[in-house]
Structure 1
Amino acid sequence: MIRWLCLLAVAATATGSWALDMPGHARLTAERTSDADRYTAPIAPFDGSAIPVQQIDGAVRRQAWELPGPGQSPLRIVAPLRAQFEADGFEIVLDCLSAHCGGFDFRFGTEVLPAPNMFVNLRDFQFLTLRKGNAAAPEAIVTLLVTALADRAYVQIIEARPSGQFDKTTAVGPSQVAAPLNGSAGQELMEKGAIVLDGVEFTTGATSLTNGPFPSLANLAALLKQNTGLRIALVGHTDSVGDLNQNIRISRARAAAVRQRLIDQYGIAPDRIEAEGMGYLAPRASNLTEQGREANRRVEAVVLANDR
């Protein structure tokens, strides 16, 4: 086991932080911390129309871990983590497995960090919500999402605290450090004509962008400002789940949301950016695996012209 210091800041220590033991082969893939945020935590399985939730405003920390190796089980991974939380005074609010959680409807109604830092196998995941303190006004709420693929497992841990701040010295995960588009990625866009906008996240179950920040959008805006004749199309893509027309509508709406963010936040002229949607018609990976479906849900920037 490895000791992860300051993952959570809810134990009764002098610093307000504690250590959570993770499996020794675990690798942190993403971490994002916000001192003023909102988290909507599931507190019951999907009931046929919605997921019952509890909303918490305050400091929120989101992490994803990868556990390499075949033959792993969410139940075996969860057990020691759950025991540590219970020993620290947390109570279990929700503990469900894939189908019992609500399967597809639960997964896509629940916040999940984007690929490639986190993947979810719809047929093999376990979800826990743990709460500390008064149910109506808790000290902290933590959710665990643990899933197993053929050759690896993933653990997502989201913690929300109504008050207090987190230690700022922890490492930032890959999803928060995008390659500058005015460097090698910018060269790729200009040479190959298209690039995936990594780390772009949408509100769960909707087409609107979350608050960010999104380094890939900031870098794309910088590239557009440096190349005043450059015109692009933003193209949304989905996996193969669901109706084609609906997927085209969703993918186009998400591309439009990215376009609007570039216009509103970065001052890019509207006539330099188009927004289109392809639905599931242009996959970059197999839709037969969860990992492939995650990779297919994306927004790309495509070069249309460079009128220097």
Structure 2
Amino acid sequence: MIRRFALFVGLICAAPVWAVEMSMPTGSRLVSDRGSAFDSYDLPVGPWQGGTVETVTLEGRVDRQSWRVESGSITTLQLLDPLRTQLREAGLDLVFDCDAQSCGGFDFRFAIEVIPTPDMYVDIRDYRFLAARGEDRAVSLLISRSRTAGYVQIIQVSPADQEGLQISPGGAPAPVMQNPDRPKDLAARLVEQGHVTLDDLEFEIGSTNLGTASYDSLASLAAFLLANPSAVVALVGHTDASGALDVNISVSRERAASVLRRLVEDYAVPEAQLRAEGMGYLAPRASHLTAEGRELNRRVEAVLLALD
């Protein structure tokens, strides 16, 4: 169980107004914004340890935002660093700062409050978390990225009669990695391994429709198929183990079909080079018994069937 320690910030009288602005990188877009005039938030102040995450329960005005950053190959640390500096300059003390491994990996991510997808995306292998505190307020940052964009979750607690940190999208351009040490590209992995997971795909909530964003994996796969007219790829959908097998096979096949349509309609890939299949929950890559495992198992893979 998560330990909680109460700190009441919402009833402080005559607290000073905090007119501080945080600038997001250029290319940032506010995805979700929800404020509560009086609410509570369990601020993580330590890693997952001994089966729990230590938190401090704060009460007051709680603002929850998520941002998408069109950032190319920027790393999570490059996203975090200027925001961390701005919090220090605003007079907040950093009380906890970790990356995925030191935070506690899967367990930490699923023990803390996270805005649901698609408004917030968290790669459980690549994220960073920061908690900062001032005299009467606190801010947490959760930063991750897909293959196409960065994601920043900001949760802040301030006195109930005051506004929180003002956040704007017009900051400095996001830094771009120079000569990043990148893994083999999708085409190379597809040929070498015979299959590859399209990890950056995001589907609409409660739907089998592929989201409207641009996905690096589809651009790479399309380029490979157009350059190799003899290549044939099966798009194979996978689900978690929730629900009946026949339903899951249908859902997984429909999601694969949605990806196929995107490749044909947006990238002009010949339909003859593509197949759409569904495996349901029969080919997991992690345990279906944990939340993090189920998240990993919901995916679409490309399987190379032919290449002359």
Q: Could you say which TM-score interval applies, normalised by the shorter chain?
A: 0.5 to 0.7
Shift of 1:41: 5.7
In the alignment, the residues of structure 1 paired with residue 216 and residue 23 of structure 2 have an alpha-carbon distance, to the nearest angstrom, of: 30
Structure 2 residue aligned with 1:113:
121
Show CA shifts across 1:104-150 (max 9, x none).
xx99787441543589xxxxxxxxxxxxxxxxxxxxxx99899xxxx
In the alignment, the residues of structure 2 paired with residue 229 and residue 42 of structure 1 have an alpha-carbon distance, to the nearest angstrom, of: 53
Shift of 1:189: 0.9
TM-score normalised to structure 2 length: 0.53
Shift of 1:191: 2.4
Which structure 2 residues correspond to residues 239-254 of structure 1 after superposition, within 5 A?
Answer: 239-254=240-255
Query: For the Cα contact (< 8 Å) 1:114–1:199, is it kept in 2?
Result: no
In the alignment, the residues of structure 2 paired with residue 74 and residue 234 of structure 1 have an alpha-carbon distance, to the nearest angstrom, of: 39
Show CA shifts across 1:217-275 (max 9, x none).
11111111221211101001011112212211211111111111111211111111111
- Alpha carbons of structure 1 residues 72 and 158: separation in structure 2 relative to 1, 3 Å: farther
Structure 2 residue aligned with 1:216:
217
In the alignment, the residues of structure 2 paired with residue 273 and residue 32 of structure 1 have an alpha-carbon distance, to the nearest angstrom, of: 37
- Alpha carbons of structure 1 residues 235 and 210: separation in structure 2 relative to 1, 3 Å: same
- Alpha carbons of structure 1 residues 42 and 283: separation in structure 2 relative to 1, 3 Å: farther
In the alignment, the residues of structure 1 paired with residue 118 and residue 140 of structure 2 have an alpha-carbon distance, to the nearest angstrom, of: 11
In the alignment, the residues of structure 1 paired with residue 249 and residue 272 of structure 2 have an alpha-carbon distance, to the nearest angstrom, of: 22
Query: For the Cα contact (< 8 Å) 1:234–1:273, is it kept in 2?
Result: yes
- Alpha carbons of structure 1 residues 304 and 206: separation in structure 2 relative to 1, 3 Å: same
Q: How many residue pairs end up in the alignment? A: 205
Name stretches of at least 5 consecutive residues in structure 1 with no aligned partner.
1-10, 20-30, 44-64, 95-105, 120-141, 147-154
Structure 2 residue 171 is matched with structure 1 residue 167: yes
Structure 2 residue aligned with 1:70:
49
Aligned-partner residue type, residue 167 of structure 1: G
Aligned-partner residue type, residue 222 of structure 1: A
- Alpha carbons of structure 1 residues 17 and 292: separation in structure 2 relative to 1, 3 Å: same
In the alignment, the residues of structure 2 paired with residue 263 and residue 74 of structure 1 have an alpha-carbon distance, to the nearest angstrom, of: 46
The worse-fitting range, judged by mean Cα deviation, of 107-116 and 241-250 is 107-116
Which structure 2 residues correspond to residues 250-265 of structure 1 after superposition, within 5 A?
Answer: 250-265=251-266
Q: Which has the higher contact order (CA 8 A, sep 6+)?
A: 2
In the alignment, the residues of structure 1 paired with residue 154 and residue 116 of structure 2 have an alpha-carbon distance, to the nearest angstrom, of: 16
Aligned residue among 149, 153, 170 for 1:157? 153
Show CA shifts across 1:9-65 (max 9, x none).
xx844xx4169xxxxxxxxxxx99644x7548698xxxxxxxxxxxxxxxxxxxxx9
- Alpha carbons of structure 1 residues 69 and 194: separation in structure 2 relative to 1, 3 Å: same
Which structure 2 residues correspond to residues 1-308 of structure 1 after superposition, within 5 A?
Answer: 12-13=19-20, 16-17=21-22, 34-35=28-29, 39=32, 69-71=48-50, 73=52, 76=55, 79=57, 91-92=61-62, 111-117=119-125, 157=153, 165-170=169-174, 183-306=184-307, 308=308
Name stretches of at least 5 consecutive residues in structure 2 with no aligned partner.
1-17, 37-43, 65-113, 128-138, 144-150, 156-166
Q: Report the RMSD for the aligned CA atoms in angstroms.
A: 4.4
Higher Rg of the two aligned structures: 2
- Alpha carbons of structure 1 residues 273 and 111: separation in structure 2 relative to 1, 3 Å: same
TM-score normalised to structure 1 length: 0.53
